[in-house]
Structure 1
Amino acid sequence: MSSNRTVEYIRYSLPADDADAFIAAYTRAAESLAASEQCVDYELRRCEEEPGSFILRITWTSTRDHLETFRASAEFRAFFAEIRPYVEQITEMRHYAPTGVAGRGAAVPSLYAWAGGAKAFERLTEAFYARVVEDDLLGELFRDLPHEHAEHVALWIAEVFGGPATYGERLGGHAGMAAKHLGKRITEPQRRRWVNLLLDAADEVGLPTDPEFRSAFVAYVEWGTRMALHYSNDVPADSTPPHEPMPHWGWGEPGGPYQP
C-alpha cells in the first residue's frame, strides 16, 4: 500500500429510528465515492450495541487528495447532497495515517498455512528447479545456480505468502531478490515458461487445488515474474535495487501491484 494513503473515519450518532433512512442515503452517496479517483475504498459499519451509532471508513489516496481535489469535485457535491441531513449528527471526522502495526488473526489462515507450511514450498522449489535445469529455454539461465538457490526461493515464497520473515531478515529482502535478476535479460518467452513449469511443479507436489488458493498463487507468480522481467531488463546491472518492503500476498489481496 502506498505510504501516502490515509484513512478517514466519520462517526455518527443519531436516533435509531433514523437508521434505515441514513443507510439508504449512504447507499446513494456511495455511488459518488465509487466514482471518485481519490477514493481507494469505503465501508459503513453499524454498532451492534447502539444501533444509532455508525462509523464510515474511507481510504483516500492522500489527505490532500481528499481535502483539495475530492472536495472540489462534482462527485463531492453529489455525495454531500445525499448525506447533508446527517452532518449535525457527526461526532468525529478525522484522518488517520498508518503506524506499521497491522496483521491478520488466526481466524483466516495464511496462504502459507493453507499450502502446508515450509515443507510444501521446499517440495515445490525442489521439483521446479529439477525441471528448470533440463529445460531447453531456461536451462542456460539456471544451470550454474548454487545448490542452495531452491531453498532460498522457498523461503522467499513462504514469506510472501505469510510465513516466517526469514528471507527478509537473512537474505536481503526485496532488494536482495531484485539484485539477483539484474543484467539477466530475461525474455518474455522465458518468463512464460518459468510460470508454466512452476504451475506444473505445484501440481506435482500437491499444492492445494481449490480455486481460491490457486487464483492467489497464480496472481503472485504472474506479478513476481513480471517484476523479475523488469529488473532484468530495465534496471542497470551495476545499480542498487530500491529497498522496497517485502511483498505480502493474501486471499485475493495483492500486496504490491497498484500504487496510486
Structure 2
Amino acid sequence: MSTQTVEYIRYRIPESRTAEFLAAYTRAAARLAAAPQCVDYELARREEGTGEDTGDDAHFVLRITWTSAEDHLKGFRTSELFPGFLAEIRPYIENIEEMRHYAPTPVRGTGSALPSLYDWAGGAAAFSRLTSAFYDKVLKDDLLSPLFAGLAPEHAEHVAVWLGEVFGGPTTYSDTQGGHTHMVAMHAGKHITEPQRRRWVNLIQDAADEAGLPTDAEFRSAFLAYVEWGTRLAVYFSGPDAQPPAEQPVPKWSWGAMPPYRG
C-alpha cells in the first residue's frame, strides 16, 4: 500500500524576479491541481526581512503532498501534465536550494487558535444533551427501535463520549471502552439497512437542533460529514461479509476534514 510523501522545494529568488516567479507558479499550479497524484500544495514566502544571510533575495518553500514518492516520480513526471509544469518553472531551477521527499510522522495536530468541533459544540454537556434527545427519538421510532431492543441505560452516555472524542474532546472513550475497533464490534450482526441508516442520520440532526448544537453552516457540515461517514461504515460492519478492521484508534474529525480511513 502506498503512503503519502511530502516534497519540499526551497527557492532563493532575487527580489527583482519574485513577481514573475509567483506568476509562473500560479500557472504551474493548474497542472498540480489536475494531477491525480497530487493531494495538495502550498507555496510560502519567508516573512523575515533581508540581512547578511539573505542579501536582497526572497526565500520560498513549495510544499507538495503526493500520494506516494513513486506516484510523483513515475506517475506525475511521466504524465502529459508534467511538460507544461516544467516549462513554467524551468527558469527557476537554478534557484533551488533543496528538493527532497519527506515521510509524514505521527506528530501532527492543530493548535488552540482553531477551536475543536467539540469545544464549538459546547463540550461534554452538549453531546450528552444530543445523545439523550437522540435515543429518546430512536426508542420511539418504528424503523430503528428494533435495532436497540434491550438498550443498556449507559449506552447514550457512551455514544456521547465517543462523539466527544471524535470531534476533538477528551479521550474518555479510548480510556474506558477502547478504540474504533471496539465501536465497530457493537454493530456486528445487526444487518442495518439503508432506510435505517438514513432514518438514523435524520433523527440525529433533529436531536442536534433539539439539544441546541450550533447551527452555523461550517459546524453542521462537518457534523453531518462524520454522521454520513460513520453510519455508512456501520452498515458495512453490520453485514454478513464484513471483515473486522485491525485495531485502530478513535477517528479524529475536524473542520472540513476526514480521517484517512484504511479498511
* TM tier relative to shorter chain: over 0.9
Q: CA deviation at 1:57?
A: 0.4
Match of 2:100 in 1: 94
The 1:40–1:211 alpha-carbon spacing in structure 2 relative to 1, beyond 3 Å, is: same
Aligned residues of 1:29 and 1:78 also touching (Cα < 8 A)? yes
Match of 1:252 in 2: 256
2:4 is matched by which residue type in structure 1? R
Q: 1 CA distance for matches of 2:257 and 2:106?
A: 18
Match of 2:53 in 1: none
Aligned residues of 1:6 and 1:59 also touching (Cα < 8 A)? yes
Structure 1: runs of 5+ lacking an equivalent: none
Q: Does 1:43 align with 2:42?
A: yes
Q: 1 CA distance for matches of 2:241 and 2:161?
A: 24
Over the residues paired in the alignment, what is the CA RMSD in angstroms? Answer: 1.6
Structure 1 SS opposite 2:239: helix
Q: 1 CA distance for matches of 2:48 and 2:177?
A: 48
| TM-score, length of structure 2 as denominator length | 0.93
Match of 2:54 in 1: none
Structure 1 SS opposite 2:238: helix
Aligned residues of 1:179 and 1:241 also touching (Cα < 8 A)? no
Q: Does 1:11 align with 2:10?
A: yes
Structure 2: runs of 5+ lacking an equivalent: 50-56
> 150, 154, 163: which one pairs with 1:148?
154
Q: 1 CA distance for matches of 2:108 and 2:36?
A: 25
Aligned residues of 1:182 and 1:235 also touching (Cα < 8 A)? no
1:36 is matched by which residue type in structure 2? A
Q: CA deviation at 1:168?
A: 2.2
Which residues of 2 match residues 160-239 of structure 1 at below 5 A?
Answer: 160-233=166-239, 235-236=241-242
Q: CA deviation at 1:234?
A: 5.3
Percent identity (aligned): 62
Q: CA deviation at 1:14?
A: 1.2
1:25-79 per-residue CA deviation (whole Å, 9 max, x = no partner) reads: 0011111111111100101111112561100000000011111211111211111
Which residues of 2 match residues 98-117 of structure 1 at below 5 A?
Answer: 98-117=104-123
1:6-40 per-residue CA deviation (whole Å, 9 max, x = no partner) reads: 11110000111100000000011111111111100
Structure 2 SS opposite 1:74: coil
Structure 2 SS opposite 1:40: strand
Q: 2 CA distance for matches of 1:182 and 1:143?
A: 15
Q: CA deviation at 1:170?
A: 2.5
The 1:58–1:136 alpha-carbon spacing in structure 2 relative to 1, beyond 3 Å, is: same
2:107 is matched by which residue type in structure 1? V
Aligned residues of 2:237 and 2:244 also touching (Cα < 8 A)? no
Moved over 6 A (4+): none
Q: 2 CA distance for matches of 1:216 and 1:166?
A: 21
Match of 2:72 in 1: 66
Aligned residues of 1:249 and 1:255 also touching (Cα < 8 A)? yes
1:51-108 per-residue CA deviation (whole Å, 9 max, x = no partner) reads: 6110000000001111121111121111111100000100011111111111111111
Structure 1 SS opposite 2:64: strand
Q: CA deviation at 1:186?
A: 0.3
Q: CA deviation at 1:207?
A: 0.3
The 1:182–1:235 alpha-carbon spacing in structure 2 relative to 1, beyond 3 Å, is: farther
1:9 is matched by which residue type in structure 2? Y
The count of corresponding residues between Structure 1 and Structure 2 is 255
Q: 2 CA distance for matches of 1:136 and 1:200?
A: 16
The 1:235–1:157 alpha-carbon spacing in structure 2 relative to 1, beyond 3 Å, is: farther
